[in-house]
Amino acid sequence: MTDLGAKVGASVGADVQGADIRAAMAEVVGAGQVLTGDRITEDYCHDEALSMPAQRPAMVVRPASAAEVSAVLRVASAHRLPVTARGSGSGLSGAAIPEPGGLVISLERMNRVLEIDVHNHVAVVQPGLTLAELDEATAAHGLTYPVYPGELSSSLGGNVATNAGGMRAVRYGVTRNQVLGLEAVLPTGEVIRTGGKLAKTSTGYDLTQLIIGSEGTLAVVTEATLRLYPRPPHQATVLAPFHTVDEVARAVPNVVHSGVAPLILEYIDGFTMGAITHSQQLDLGVPTEIKEKAQAYLLVMLESGHAERLDEDTEQLGGLLTELGAIEVYVLPGSSARRLVEAREKAFWTSKAAGAHDIIDTVVPRAAIPEFLAIAAEIAQRHGSMVFGCGHAGDGNVHLAVFQADDQVRSAMLRELFEACMKLGGLISGEHGIGRAKKRYFLELTDPATIALMRRIKTAFDPEGILNPTVLLES
């Protein structure tokens, strides 16, 4: 046990005899980093899930090291105090909403880049670091971390917890494809290290991958070792309007198979395109008569280290899209391309401003997108609801903004949508996670044997059940 651990161990012992938990926490992180009462601002009480109410914790602590996180968890475990780890609070599933009367471990002070290893193409970072901060640090070395889930203020710890994805997943995969190793603290206070600066490993259970996507229910991540890539200097963005969403969805496999290796391959329905371009005051140069014909758009971004190769790929892509039925093909100038990609990344905020009652992120096999979208439209119509959306067409991740104010009607509709998705070989969430918002559907629709195994894993990591006890699985 470290000196800090020994000190807190003594504090815990005293606390069992009646000392105040806050005093024990203050001894670990300093009195100024323990927040209670009016010092707990609203930001600590919610994430960005549209359908989940905010909840106020009893206490927020802001540790600055893995040793402090370990000590805090020892106190919490001794008192069976429910714990929610929090980064930027940008999640969409309710996993960062605290338990009423519980403890929030805010990782905002653990926000450093510990190392950029140029030779091994690796970054070692703390969990409170944001994607924007990491991007700035890697750019200075001509490198990039390729996971962009749509909100650059999101934290790396939160990305690991939810296995965040984003538009570039079609080329680079999601967070779990980019995390080589972790430092994490178990609820008992034990600190473990998994993986490292390694391209591969075949040594025992892969605890790195088990922790990724566990939504704060197994351990608190205090450090992540991330894979980096050379930052290509040349990009081109192509926008192709189509008459129907079905035509767009059916074009996607052909683009993937063409060999142009898109960095981004997104579908955007006509309503969503109109909303995001209007909200961002973005004129893409698409004539009104084309907009009136187009029910959906395909957005494709290419990248390359060589300008000539990029030009060839762009020309090939344009010809292919025309053959596949595109009304027109536009190669967007750099400023318009950047603004459209940014607007697409912020589609959630556009949907929220438009009054959406929920956002879902189902994932289906890529070839099943047309069938799922047709089923989703029929289900929404039958329930007197509206669904609009966009999605990562290259990897089958369908994002739908749901407009239905009645909670019971919306719940019944969502269950049908998720069930239809799973019958097509898909899953409830492609990147936002289950959290609290989708837990009911997850537990109802997932094989009971799978749920039982997950519960046994949860117990092995967290015997007192203190980490996010009402997230993902019932405690």
In the predicted structure, residue 7 carries a pLDDT above the cut 60: no
Question: Confidence band (pLDDT; 50, 70, 90) for 143?
Answer: very high
Cβ distance 72 to 64 under 8 Å?
Answer: no
Round the average pLDDT of the chain to a whole number and report it: 93
Question: Confidence band (pLDDT; 50, 70, 90) for 367?
Answer: confident
Q: Rounded CA gap, 112 and 223, in Å? A: 10
The pLDDT assigned to 1 comes to 38
Q: What is the largest CA-CA distance in the chain?
A: 76
- Residue 369: closest CA among 242, 273, 239, 253: 253
Q: pLDDT tens digits for 369-387?
A: 989 999 999 999 999 999 9
In the predicted structure, residue 9 carries a pLDDT above the cut 50: no
Q: The dihedral of CA 132, 135, 136, 137: what is its sign? A: positive
To the nearest 10°, report the CA torsion of 172, 175, 180, 183.
Answer: 160
Q: pLDDT tens digits for 55-95?
A: 999 999 999 999 999 999 999 999 999 999 999 999 999 99
Distances in Å between the Cα of 422 and the Cα atoms of 24, 55, 429 are: 47, 31, 10
Cβ distance 95 to 433 under 8 Å?
Answer: yes
User: Phi/psi of residue 317, each to 5°?
Assistant: -65, -45
In the predicted structure, residue 200 carries a pLDDT above the cut 90: no
Q: What percent of the chain has pLDDT over 70?
A: 96
The whole model's pTM is what?
0.92
The pLDDT assigned to 6 comes to 44
Secondary structure of residue 358 in the 3-state scheme: strand
In the predicted structure, residue 160 carries a pLDDT above the cut 90: yes
Among 130-139, 272-281, 293-302, the range scoring the smallest mean pLDDT is 272-281
Q: Which CATH architecture has domain 3-109?
A: 2-Layer Sandwich (3.30)
The pLDDT assigned to 4 comes to 46
Q: What percent of the chain has pLDDT over 90?
A: 87
- Residue 363: closest CA among 414, 401, 397, 388: 397
The pLDDT assigned to 177 comes to 96
- Residue 68: closest CA among 158, 15, 3: 3
Cβ distance 389 to 276 under 8 Å?
Answer: no
Token pair, residue 243, equals 């008459």
Distances in Å between the Cα of 367 and the Cα atoms of 166, 170, 252, 256 are: 19, 14, 8, 11
- CATH class for domain 113-230? alpha beta
In the predicted structure, residue 203 carries a pLDDT above the cut 50: yes
Strands of 113-117's sheet, edge to edge? 113-117, 122-125, 220-227, 179-185, 191-195
User: Phi/psi of residue 342, each to 5°?
Assistant: -65, -40
Distances in Å between the Cα of 182 and the Cα atoms of 98, 193, 439 are: 24, 6, 26
Q: Which CATH architecture has domain 234-334?
A: 2-Layer Sandwich (3.30)
In the predicted structure, residue 17 carries a pLDDT above the cut 90: no
Do domains 234-334 and 355-457 share one topology? The answer is yes
Q: Rounded CA gap, 10 and 19, in Å? A: 11
The pLDDT assigned to 199 comes to 85
Cβ distance 301 to 337 under 8 Å?
Answer: yes
The pLDDT assigned to 475 comes to 52
Q: pLDDT tens digits for 299-314?
A: 999 999 999 999 999 9
Cβ distance 397 to 391 under 8 Å?
Answer: yes
Q: pLDDT tens digits for 418-464?
A: 999 999 999 999 999 999 999 999 999 999 999 999 999 999 999 99
Give the number of residues written for the chain: 475
Report, as an integer, the average pLDDT of 39-46: 96
In the predicted structure, residue 218 carries a pLDDT above the cut 60: yes
Distances in Å between the Cα of 90 and the Cα atoms of 3, 106, 275, 305, 344 are: 35, 13, 22, 33, 16
Please identify which residue in the block is written with the tokens 């997230």.
471
Domain 355-457 coded CATH 3.30.70.2740: yes
In the predicted structure, residue 18 carries a pLDDT above the cut 60: no
Over the range 92-114, which residues count as b (16 or more CB within 10 Å of their CB) and which as e?
A: bbbbbbbbeebbbbbbbebbebe
- Domain positions in the chain: 3-109, 113-230, 234-334, 355-457
The pLDDT assigned to 13 comes to 39
In the predicted structure, residue 234 carries a pLDDT above the cut 70: yes
